[in-house]
Chains A and B, each alone.
Chain A
Amino acid sequence: MCGIAGLIHRGKSSNVGHELQGMLQALKHRGEDSTGYALYGDTDGKNFIMRFKVGENVGEGSTSVAEDVSVYDERKKIVDNYLSEMGAKIVKEERILPYSLRYEIEYNKKDLLEFSQKIESIPGVEILSMGKSLEVIKDLGNAKMVCDRYNLDKLVGTHAIGHARMATESGVDIKSAHPFWGYPFSDVSVVHNGQLTNYWNNRRALENKGMRFMSECDSELIAVYLAEKMRDGASLEEGMKESLTGLDGVFTYFVATKDSLGMAKDTMAAKPLVLYESDDLVAMGSEEIAIRSILPQEIDTYDPFDGEVKVWQI
């Protein structure tokens, strides 16, 4: 089933980590195999923040194979060496969990494709996000469990999107969890509720164009599809509008960039979305209770119609 939630503060920052945790926890009945956050925090914009994993969570319910922690250490060493080779300087390093790391990196090149390909050539290593504001955090369990595990409660920023997942067509693991980074674009992330029926056709076509897929989760296609459109010069909104016909199936998805948040709904309006919009805040989720977790007072909300695309700026 899955649940998605997102919010954007316009003209100010807020405790988006805490707010999104509340929204996603309200949706936990829609799936708690894994939960993911894409948080756009307040930064000075100088350094890249790279969230990456060197292994999988092999806890209860996971479909991943257990590995020795020493393997993670080996992979981390190779990552550090590659960063050094590419002229990237690690400014700050956090190992939140044995398999999950957060680096702040000084890196001056704009093209992240070569950078990402080099890092991800290490078996078992995946960049979850790369950006100057974006941080993707995803793991097994419900929103509160992931939030507590990664100390997200105090993260301050302007906007965020998140996903509570019930795994249906791919594994219970971090690589299949949402949000997906819009590889190789800095600060682009996507969450999706639904099912894409032309996944393999699109995937083969995009792979032939040099795009990369890390999982077999159909939702990853949206991130890659939009990234490819933007690589060809389309704006985010143009790419999203094209997706209404380019992607087949039922979907409601959110996409976020460094300074914007967008939503798209398929032409049959088969997947739910409730939206609240005011001058200083937009909040949306699969169910109204997600919005109620941050706005308990009486508010006006609505369901966007079929084939609707909307984009808001911070």
Chain B
Amino acid sequence: MANLKNVTKKTKAQAMGMHTEVLTGRTQQKFFNPDEAENFYYYGTYDVDFNKRTDLDVMDMTAAQANKEIDNLMSQGYGTIVIKNPQGKHSIGVGILNKLNLIFEGSLGYFGIGSCDGPIVRINGRVGWSCAENLMAGKVVIEKNAGSCFGAAIRGGDLICKGSVGARTGIDMKGGTIIIGGDAGAFTGFMMQRGRIIILGNVGINLGDSMYDGTIFVGGEIGSYGSDAVDAELTKSDQDWLKRKLKVAEIGENFDVSKMKKIVAGKKLWNYDNLEPTEKKGAI
């Protein structure tokens, strides 16, 4: 093995032999170059006008039909779309890659608002498992409860549930903020890698199990700590950030953040020194 003291941080992973494969053909590894931003085209995005508003009743539509119709409305420039009668359907409101005001009058099933990048979404009902999975940017607000795997693998944006959420909230999250007004289930923050989770209520067993990095703030009781999740000091800076975030999230504005517990990774299990390439939008 190479002498790690003599290599830069950037090449340490390669020096340790973690990247030995030879990349060929069309699947070569590519990194975003901010100098090329002007040539960048984000496929599937639209310029929309927030003042152009319409309703869409999806009662008799399949999820695919509903998503296609949302895409069609965005292509016509509609920037505020109100979805009527979602009726717990799965996989609605997915793959939206531009700014949009999307309002659901009702509840969603599994995998709602998946892989989105930029929209502001308000759901007046409940959401099922894996809501907002892979969210990259934007804001998603759920007025009632959410199922398990809430905000799985999100990379950015704000995800807010005013009620309670199920198990494995923020599993594998890589950025962004998740805010829960009520309680959260077992394995919250399981294997999270970056980002922040705020829970105003109680949280179940194995909190932050095997987390690599990131921060979890808990206002209520903790069922138990997971492997490598440890307490950390709640700083003045943390408290200021929490107050700002809760205010923006329109949730728990009068909550006493000074009594919250802060949980971070003990870094005994995992300790990666190479972070992901900066997200393209941040670079722009």
A280 close to chain B: CB less than 8 A: no
Residues of B148-181 whose CB lies within 8 A of A: 148, 163-168
- Residues of A with C-beta under 8 A to B186: 267-269, 305-306
- Residues of A with C-beta under 8 A to B204: 269, 305-306
Q: Mark A262-301 against chain B: 1 for CB-CB distance below 8 A, else 0.
A: 0000011110101000000000000111011000101011
Q: Does B88 lie within 8 Å of A291, measured CB to CB? A: yes
For the side of the interface on B, what is the size category?
Answer: 20 to 34
A213 close to chain B: CB less than 8 A: no
- Residues of A with C-beta under 8 A to B79: none
- Residues of A with C-beta under 8 A to B146: 303
Q: Mark B95-120 against chain A: 1 for CB-CB distance below 8 A, else 0.
A: 00000000001110110000000000
Q: Does A287 lie within 8 Å of B110, measured CB to CB? A: yes
- Residues of B with C-beta under 8 A to A291: 88
Q: Does B126 lie within 8 Å of A287, measured CB to CB? A: no
- Residues of B with C-beta under 8 A to A306: 167, 185-186, 204-205
CB B185 to nearest CB in A, in angstroms, measures 5
A306 to B145, CA, bound (A): 16
Scoring B110, B144, B185 by chain A CB atoms within 10 A of each residue's CB, the highest score goes to B185
A132 to B110, CA, bound (A): 39
- Residues of A with C-beta under 8 A to B183: 305
Tally A-B pairs: CB < 8 A.
Answer: 74
- Residues of B with C-beta under 8 A to A301: 107, 126, 144-145
A306 to B148, CA, bound (A): 11
Q: Does B126 lie within 8 Å of A289, measured CB to CB? A: no
A292 to B107, CA, bound (A): 10
Q: Does B185 lie within 8 Å of A298, measured CB to CB? A: no
- Residues of A with C-beta under 8 A to B14: none
A150 close to chain B: CB less than 8 A: no
Instruction: Give the secondary structure class of A's interface.
Output: loop
A200 close to chain B: CB less than 8 A: no
Q: Mark A236-279 against chain B: 1 for CB-CB distance below 8 A, else 0.
A: 00000000000000000000000000000001111010100000
Q: Does B205 lie within 8 Å of A303, measured CB to CB? A: no
Q: Does A289 lie within 8 Å of B89, measured CB to CB? A: yes
CB A244 to nearest CB in B, in angstroms, measures 12
A301 to B89, CA, bound (A): 14
Closest to B166 in A: A303
CB A177 to nearest CB in B, in angstroms, measures 25
Give B residues with C-beta under 8 Å from A: 87-90, 105-107, 109-110, 124-126, 128-129, 144-148, 163-168, 183, 185-187, 204-205
- 10 nearest interchain CB pairs? A288-B88, A269-B167, A303-B166, A306-B186, A302-B145, A292-B88, A289-B88, A305-B185, A303-B147, A292-B87
Give A residues with C-beta under 8 Å from B: 267-270, 272, 274, 287-289, 291-292, 296, 298, 300-303, 305-306
Question: Given A268-B186, A269-B166, A287-B110, 7 more contacts at CB 8 Å?
Answer: A268-B187, A269-B204, A272-B147, A288-B88, A303-B166, A305-B204, A306-B185
- 7 pairs, A vs B, C-beta closer than 8 Å: A268-B187, A272-B147, A289-B88, A292-B88, A301-B145, A305-B166, A305-B167
